[in-house]
Amino acid sequence: MNYPDPIKNLIDNFASLPGIGQKTAERLVFYLLKKGEQEKMIEFGRVLANIKKITPPCPECGNVSENGRCNICSDRKRDKTTLCIVAEAQDIFYLDKTGVYNGIYHVLGGLLSTADGITIKDINTEKIMGRILRQHVREVVMGINPTVEGESTIIYLKKTLREKFPKIKITRLSRGLPMGGDLEYADEITLSSAIKNRSEI
Ligand SMILES: [Zn+2]
């Protein structure tokens, strides 16, 4: 027997999310059908429908925000002369949770990747350079995963930034991170020491 269309539709929607396979999607839908409270489901739908609209990227750094500039860019206690470049906004949360880094961030929004068709044209280095100049940045930290894509992005950024700012300090997270792994999978102690022991490149 096939699922009725509305149920199949919801299952397909869940199954399109990362980490959720067909079986899990089916389980979630049948759980909602059986146990979901109408009011909570309406609220869930409302949050889902608006989440992108109400959290636009911070115009400064690309982090998620609620009202224009993000919490980190508007925090006066942050050291604006240390700039950590990350691949995705999510990485800011992993790195910042460690509490050992007090600088600011910059979200690339993707790494150089032939598979995903991301080329140097898609990496907005002008914006990074503008921030370096405006905020008198002294150190740029490559807060990027040590994957193949991560390594080529680090090499490209280092070369480009070095040409324009010959004296700026450029560092990267220390090697102890799982090779080829995402920051997401590194535990907090490993991440803390990766930032603390960052080395110049
Ligand atoms: Zn920001």
Strand intervals (E) in the chain: 79-86, 103-107, 139-142, 169-172, 199-200
CA distance 35 to 82: 49
Position 176 scores a pLDDT of: 66
CA distance 18 to 25: 11
Q: Per-residue pLDDT tens for 169-185?
A: 999 988 766 655 567 66
- What is the DSSP secondary-structure string of 153-183? HHHHHHHHHHHH-TT-EEEE--TTSPTT--G
- Domain extent at residue 11: 5-54
Q: What is the DSSP letter of 74?
A: T
Asked whether residue 29 falls in the same domain as residue 100, the answer is no
CA distance 153 to 147: 10
Asked whether residue 96 falls in the same domain as residue 25, the answer is no
- Ligand 1 centroid to Cα of residue 143, in Å, is 16
Asked whether residue 19 falls in the same domain as residue 112, the answer is no
Asked whether residue 16 falls in the same domain as residue 115, the answer is no
Q: Per-residue pLDDT tens for 94-117?
A: 899 888 999 999 999 888 887 777
Q: pTM for the full model?
A: 0.79
Asked whether residue 102 falls in the same domain as residue 15, the answer is no
**What CATH number does residue 105 fall under?**
3.40.1360.10
- Ligand 1 centroid to Cα of residue 106, in Å, is 8
- Ligand 1 centroid to Cα of residue 26, in Å, is 38
- Ligand 1 centroid to Cα of residue 61, in Å, is 4
Position 177 scores a pLDDT of: 64
Q: Per the structure, how many domains does the chain have?
A: 2
Q: Is residue 25 part of a domain?
A: yes
Mean pLDDT of all residues in 50-65: 91
Last residue of a domain, one of 38, 54, 70: 54
Asked whether residue 43 falls in the same domain as residue 131, the answer is no
- Ligand 1 centroid to Cα of residue 64, in Å, is 8
The count of other CB atoms within 10 Å of the CB of residue 131 is: 18
Position 139 scores a pLDDT of: 95
In 3-state terms, what secondary structure has residue 81? strand
Q: Work out the mean pLDDT of the chain and round it to a whole number.
A: 88
Asked whether residue 147 falls in the same domain as residue 194, the answer is yes
